[in-house]
Amino acid sequence: MPRPHTLHRCLYLWSALAVFLPILAQAAEPQPPSAADIAWLRRDGFDLDTAQFQRLRHLGRDGLLEAQLQDRLREPLPAAIDALLRSYPALNGSTPALLQDFKQRQEQLKAMPDGDARNQARQDLRQRASQLAEQTQSAVLLHAIYGPNQLKEQLVLFWLNHFSLFQGKGQVRLLSADYVNEAIRPHALGKFKDLLLATLQSPAMLEYLDNSQNAKGRVNENYARELLELHSLGVAAGYSQEDVQQLALILTGAGLMPLDGREQRWPRPLQPLVVQQGLFQFNPKRHDFSDKHLLGHTIKGSGYAEITQAIDLITRQPACAQFIARKLAQYFVADEPPPALVARMAKTFHDSDGDIAQVMRTLMQSPELLQSTGRKFKDPQQFVISALRLTYDGKPVANPRPLLNWLNQLGQPIFGRITPDGWPLVASGWSSSGQMAKRFEIARAIGSGNNRLFTAEGSTVPGPGFPMITTPMYYQAFAPHLSSATRNALEQAVSPQEWNTFLLSSPDFNNR
């Protein structure tokens, strides 16, 4: 038998554990998110799904923000989505090989005699190009729906719009996957000057804005103008037409590596000046080596180094910090962003040498973000992506083509803006009566399950039916914050499909 003092000690320990274990268990349990947390989370990503809600519960608002800004959320995509993406030649083949294959097919087409066979070959080539373009569009949307770093996925779409491309021009549809994966996604949270330089060196951008044709004696100012006006400083930044002309001279020789298979020969003095990265090539034979005067500074004629000096000069301008800060605030916070918030973001941009993650920290921790809760209207891309996230809550789609069709109907296809200014960031661009009627139809297609999202291409197997939105996450994070008008409308629904349609069509869902 234990001695009395040992027995007393055991009883004391048991009583202490009985008191402290519930306290420790309660401390270990994640605290339920507040209304402010939920409002923040709806802006942090493309609205809510269970996975993102659980990340917030376990990491807290600050922890989730830091994990996203440091790009530490490396959870894999759902296996079925990963397999679908791996099946896309646009994403997994060599871009030079892709271009060479198309060039060969075009040469074969030219050599064919007129007739049905040539017409069919032309149609097949167009269809192939369209399929590759659609694969790239689908990949962007699938990453946005299922990607764990929702803040980064929003920034990917933001930068794709800011540095807008049109797939219908030239070879852009063949180069757009390379643009997303090599220029935009790796730099979405990095330094803005690195992102700007990556887009400048992208074959897709060089093709779209004609800098591949920009050479000494045949200067093309198109890209130089858009780089200043749309990509970095803004139209009201005070630069001159002479600045545009001087930047165009700096950019002479920045183009694409030839794909005709012939070996390029360089004079010995020019060999050290050749720069090649992927399909990008700086060709010193095509470069104007005169001294340039840009934004009040002299840039000595030296070759490729002029480009990096110009990018550094442009991104250090106060106008650049202001322009980028305002556009980010306009996308995430309000159509007319609060000037005080923009000023703080611009200061962060300046102080951090254009660190996008630092600027986003200033934005995401700002009181203005929550003060604008429920008043930022979703554009069509945000609506479609967030509708899939809420309704199907992580369930992998088998056929993303309906997503592309819906964005076409709503007028905001990925890579579909013909002009380089990007899609509107304000509600007036997307809230017409015709737009809202079309949005209601798409809400019904999603909410009723009548959409073929889960029917693979060529399959006759029917989909799983209508989705069940009323998950535990919905009751914890969404339902408590619905307006009385939306609650009343939902009570009038006569079927689950109609209930889903009413919710997806409601102002509560279409505003964030």
Query: With bands split at pLDDT 50, 70 and 90, how would you rate the model's confidence at 28?
Result: very low
CA 412-416-417 angle, 5° bins? 85
pTM of the model: 0.92
For the cut 70, the answer to whether the pLDDT of residue 13 exceeds it is no
pLDDT (mean) for 340-363: 98
Amino acid (1-letter code) at residue 481: H
R_g of the chain, CA atoms, integer Å: 27
Share of the chain above pLDDT 70, in %: 94
pLDDT for position 22:
46
Identify which has the larger pLDDT, 288 or 461. 288
- List, as own/partner pairs, every contact residues 498-502 make where C-beta atoms lie below 8 angstroms and the sequence separation is at least 24, other chains included: 498/447, 499/447, 499/469, 500/391, 500/443, 500/446, 500/447, 500/448, 500/466, 500/467, 500/469, 501/440, 501/443, 501/444, 501/447, 501/448
pLDDT for position 11:
46
For the cut 90, the answer to whether the pLDDT of residue 30 exceeds it is no
pLDDT for position 163:
98
pLDDT for position 457:
80
Query: With bands split at pLDDT 50, 70 and 90, how would you rate the model's confidence at 62?
Result: very high
353: left (phi over 0), alpha (psi -120 to 50) or beta: left
pLDDT (mean) for 263-280: 93
Structure tokens at 298: 């002299």
Structure tokens at 441: 């139809």
pLDDT for position 3:
52
Structure tokens at 304: 């490729």
Alpha-carbon dihedral sign for residues 352, 356, 357, 362: positive
Structure tokens at 187: 């730099």
Query: With bands split at pLDDT 50, 70 and 90, how would you rate the model's confidence at 287?
Result: very high
User: Phi and psi at residue 280, in whole multiples of 5°?
Assistant: -75, 140
For the cut 90, the answer to whether the pLDDT of residue 16 exceeds it is no
pLDDT (mean) for 448-460: 87
Q: Among 5-14, 118-127, 254-263, which is the least confidently predicted range?
A: 5-14
Query: With bands split at pLDDT 50, 70 and 90, how would you rate the model's confidence at 460?
Result: confident
Locus of tokens 């887009």? 199
User: Phi and psi at residue 256, in whole multiples of 5°?
Assistant: -105, 145
Longest Cα–Cα distance of the chain, Å, equals 107
Q: Among 25-29, 306-310, 414-418, which is the least confidently predicted range?
A: 25-29
Query: With bands split at pLDDT 50, 70 and 90, how would you rate the model's confidence at 5?
Result: low
pLDDT for position 1:
47
Query: With bands split at pLDDT 50, 70 and 90, how would you rate the model's confidence at 29?
Result: low
Query: With bands split at pLDDT 50, 70 and 90, how would you rate the model's confidence at 206?
Result: very high
Which one, of 390, 393, 340, 417, lies nearest residue 503 by Cα? 390
For the cut 60, the answer to whether the pLDDT of residue 14 exceeds it is no
- How confident is the model over 228-270, as pLDDT tens digits? 999 999 999 999 999 999 999 999 999 999 877 678 899 999 9
The answer to whether the beta carbons of residues 10 and 1 sit under 8 Å apart is: no
Query: With bands split at pLDDT 50, 70 and 90, how would you rate the model's confidence at 104?
Result: confident
pLDDT for position 117:
87
For the cut 80, the answer to whether the pLDDT of residue 353 exceeds it is yes
- How confident is the model over 141-194, as pLDDT tens digits? 999 999 999 999 999 999 999 999 999 999 999 999 999 999 999 999 999 999
Sheet holding 254-256, edge to edge: 254-256, 280-282, 275-277
Highest mean pLDDT among 125-129, 275-279, 365-369: 365-369
Q: What is the DSSP string of 233-302?
A: S-TTS---HHHHHHHHHHTTTEEE---S-PPP---GGGGGG-EEETTEEE-GGG---S-EEETTEEE---
Locus of tokens 């008191």? 19
Locus of tokens 């003092």? 5
Identify which has the larger pLDDT, 101 or 418. 418
Q: Among 15-29, 273-287, 392-406, which is the least confidently predicted range?
A: 15-29
pLDDT for position 369:
98
Share of the chain above pLDDT 90, in %: 83
Q: What is the DSSP string of 347-413?
A: HHHHHTTSBHHHHHHHHHT-HHHHHTTT--BPPHHHHHHHHHHHHHTTPPPS--HHHHHHHHHHT--
Residues 6+ apart with CB under 8 A from 291: 298, 299, 300, 301
| Mean pLDDT computed over every residue of the chain | 93
The SS3 assignment for 73 reads coil
Query: With bands split at pLDDT 50, 70 and 90, how would you rate the model's confidence at 32?
Result: confident
- Extents of the domains making up the chain: 318-371
The answer to whether the beta carbons of residues 410 and 439 sit under 8 Å apart is: yes
For the cut 80, the answer to whether the pLDDT of residue 41 exceeds it is yes
Other beta carbons within 10 angstroms of residue 83's beta carbon come to: 11
pLDDT for position 10:
44
- How confident is the model over 317-329, as pLDDT tens digits? 999 999 999 999 9
Rounded-to-integer distance, Cα 67 and Cα 79, Å? 23
Rounded-to-integer distance, Cα 223 and Cα 156, Å? 21
Locus of tokens 């891309």? 381
The answer to whether the beta carbons of residues 185 and 153 sit under 8 Å apart is: no
Dihedral angle, C-alpha 223, 228, 229, 235, nearest 10 °: -150
Locus of tokens 């990095």? 190
Alpha-carbon dihedral sign for residues 92, 96, 102, 104: negative
Which one, of 141, 51, 42, 153, lies nearest residue 385 by Cα? 141
Query: With bands split at pLDDT 50, 70 and 90, how would you rate the model's confidence at 362?
Result: very high
